[in-house]
Amino acid sequence: MTFLQTLLSFLAALTLLIFVHEMGHYLVARWCGVKVLRFSIGFGRPLARWTVGADRTEWTLSAIPLGGYVRMLDEREQPTEAIPPQDLPRAFTRQPLSKRALIVAAGPAANFLLAILLYALLNAIGAQEPAARMDAPTVGSAAAVAGVRAGDVVVAADGREVRSWNELRLRLIDAVIERRAAPLEIERDGMRQTVSLDAARLPEGEVERDFTGTLGLALAPGRVDISTVLPEGAAARAGLRPGDEVVAVDGVPVARAVELIEAIRARPGAELRVDVRRGEDALRIAVVPDAQPSDRPDEAGKTIGRIGAGVANRVQMVEVRYGPVEAVQRSMVHTWDMSVFSLRMLGKMLVGELSWRNLSGPVAIADYAGQSARVGWHAYLSFLALISISLGVLNLLPIPVLDGGHLVYYGLEAVRGRPLSERFLEVTQKAGLVVIAAMMVLALFNDLTRLIG
């Protein structure tokens, strides 16, 4: 079931993003008066096809779903004499340079527009996210050196507002990539102050892992809750219920789930006085942990206590939601930020400052699609927006055969005042295919390495 969900989530995402990209080309081509012959989702043998409109445009779903194309009337693909005279003015090659550039740029622009709309929708609906309240940093970490303390709430990072833990991570990405210090504005005991968090000494490639943990930043544990209660366990016999907040054990305050677990393990068969908060009520419940043999290899033969309940830390949550206008504004800024971030990552990979292991292919994207779909629709829409941005950025790279490569051609044509030679186009497009193939092989290798490693 998990594999099927991953596959369906991946195919749905891919189909939507390709459709939006090609629809950008299609709509602007029609607006510019160009005749469209085929709109295809996928490459290779058509699995389904139908024709629509006065131009008898062919719409197809093809066998290889890793892309798509819009085929327009083009004198380079068929002899001029084979084109009806009345259609010649509608050929793509007969359009002025400005229209051709507009048609080519419309595909990536559609992907960016989709990301803006998705982020705006998510911003307007809102979501519960972990608050940016910090736990005590690890000794010697960048956060400890900066002076971050347990209970500090980060309200701004690198000069920009922070409303949640997720926003804090996003605000620190630039500093991590650039290996520099970032100012953190924190709220402590009702007062605000600024500290400097230095990311200069992070190991190479840390941006692809949990850089917040390496910096010493971690969420405050929040409250300790009873998450599940087994019907035959000591917790059930004592009267503990799912949702109870554990405040203290034998008068000792409990701040983390692991503290409660260790207290229970250490007292097999002995009564524990567990202070809990249930709604508005404060209760003291006597629990006698069952004595059971430990299942840890380093504790062979040792008896420990268990109560037959699951416990979990519930971090403080905040609702992040914006009004309609601010939702759109923030979505545009976020789309721009992520586009620039993607380009900077590619640039640093090209010059060797970041590992090419950061490049992901279809296997990793499918995995992320499945994971986000299992989390919920909010995570899945965020995933769609991010991949849509990546698709738009990728297509704008100045590589022949991509939209960005064609825009470079048109720029050269504008400078020269005449079209580029067919030989030049042929050679550079072959070189572009080699570059794209190499990137795909490398991305697939990275995917397989992550899968098996």
Least confident range of 21-25, 44-48, 407-411: 44-48
Residue 422 domain-assigned (yes or no) = yes
**pLDDT tier, 86 (very low <50, low <70, confident <90, very high otherwise):** confident
22 in any annotated domain: no
At 154, the pLDDT band (50, 70, 90 cuts) reads very high
Domain-embedded: residue 91: no
Assess if residue 43 is contained within a domain. Answer: no
In this structure, are 186 and 262 located in the same domain? no
Same structural domain, 205 and 283: no
Domain contains 9: no
Check whether 372 has a pLDDT greater than 90.
Answer: no
One domain, residues 362 and 375 = yes
The residue type at 219 = L
Token readout for 252 is 């000792």
Domain range for 199:
128-220+315-320
Percent of the chain with pLDDT over 70: 96
Which CATH number fits the domain that encloses residue 215?
Answer: 2.30.42.10
Do 337 and 370 fall into the same domain?
yes
With respect to residue 378, please indicate whether it lies within any of the assigned structural domains.
yes
What is the number of domains present in the chain? 3
* DSSP secondary structure string for all residues of 392-438: HHHHTSS-TTSHHHHHHHHHHHHHHTSPPPHHHHHHHHHHHHHHHHH
The one-character DSSP state at 308 is S
Note whether 330 and 402 are same-domain residues. Answer: yes
Task: Answer yes or no: do 259 and 198 share one domain.
Answer: no
* Co-location of 112 and 136 in the same domain: no
């850089």: which residue's tokens?
Answer: 211
Instruction: Choose the final residue of a domain: 276, 311, 346.
Output: 311
Q: Are 147 and 179 in a shared domain?
A: yes
pTM for the model stands at 0.82
Domain-located, residue 450: yes
Q: Quick one: pLDDT at residue 364?
A: 80
**What residues contact 400, with CB distance under 8 A and at least 6 apart?**
406, 408, 409, 425, 428, 429, 431, 432, 433
Tens digits of per-residue pLDDT, 256-265? 888 899 999 9
pLDDT, position 152: 92
Q: How many angstroms separate the Cα of 207 from the Cα of each of 198, 388, 389, 451? A: 14, 21, 19, 19
Indicate the residue among 280, 299, 320 that finishes a domain: 320
| 347 within a domain of the structure (yes/no) | yes
Residue 316 has what pLDDT? 83
Instruction: Dihedral sign for Cα 76, 80, 83, 84, please.
Output: positive
Residues catalogued as catalytic: 22
Same-domain check for residues 228 and 330: no
Three-state SS string across 238-267, please?
Answer: HCCCCCCEEEEECCEECCCHHHHHHHHHCC
**In the listed set 311, 341, 370, which residue is the last one of a domain according to the structure?**
311
Phi/psi region, residue 239 (left: phi>0; alpha: psi -120 to 50; beta: rest), is left
Give the per-residue pLDDT at 332.
95
